[in-house]
Amino acid sequence: MSPHFQPVALEHASRLINHGPTVLVTSVHGGRRNVMAAAWSMPVEFTPPRIAVVIDKSTFTRELVMASGAFALCLPGAGIVDLTYAVGSDSGRDTDKFERLGIAARPGPVLGMPVIEAGCAAWLECRLIPERHTEAAYDTCFAEVVAAAADARVFSNGRWHFGDDNAALQTIHHLGAGNFVRAGGVLRAKA
């Protein structure tokens, strides 16, 4: 083994490949709403568009998602990294995090899930695809994306555009313990 490589505790091994954008998972049911941060989400199918996200079964968000059958994923930009960390650090079971933290949200166009645009690069409104085994065993929820929108300053024509002029909207990626990196510094491969 190279002297530059050191063993990694298995409890931290997932951080080695966890470079997908941190997302804000929003949910609403029975007049209650919540928002939480999640580091593990990914696309799983193109047509129809489907995604997977890990939402721990002990969270208030998971309770609302299971009751409503829906949620939204909002992609926070670097400009709201502190807010992202705050919503991921405490529960919304006893307080409305939207109100407490001054988060503006509007109902999504298809399912009415709270979508956050201020400071976010994009959002996806999602209908839960019940997969009880993966939900129970792995806290992984699958969903079909029924509506999506992105800030054209950072995403247009089906592509991300990261530059000096949109750094505050560039997606953030959680490295653990409140540390994030911002997408950017794009390198173009030669054919």
Domain presence at residue 189: no
Summarize pLDDT for 100-113 with one digit per residue, the tens. 999 999 999 999 99
Residue 142 lies in domain:
5-182
Domain presence at residue 91: yes
E strands present in 102-184:
106-107, 114-115, 120-129, 140-150, 155-156, 159-160, 172-176, 179-182
The answer to whether the beta carbons of residues 108 and 125 sit under 8 Å apart is: yes
Domain presence at residue 56: yes
The answer to whether the beta carbons of residues 53 and 140 sit under 8 Å apart is: yes
How many domains does the chain divide into?
A: 1
Radius of gyration (C-alpha) of the chain in whole angstroms: 17
Domain presence at residue 134: yes
The answer to whether the beta carbons of residues 107 and 115 sit under 8 Å apart is: yes
Query: What's this model's pTM, rounded to 2 decimal places?
Result: 0.91
CATH number, domain containing residue 162:
2.30.110.10
Summarize pLDDT for 68-107 with one digit per residue, the tens. 999 999 999 999 999 999 999 989 999 999 999 999 999 9
**pLDDT mean over 124-145:** 96
Q: Is the pLDDT of residue 16 over 60?
A: no
Q: What is the DSSP letter of 20?
A: S
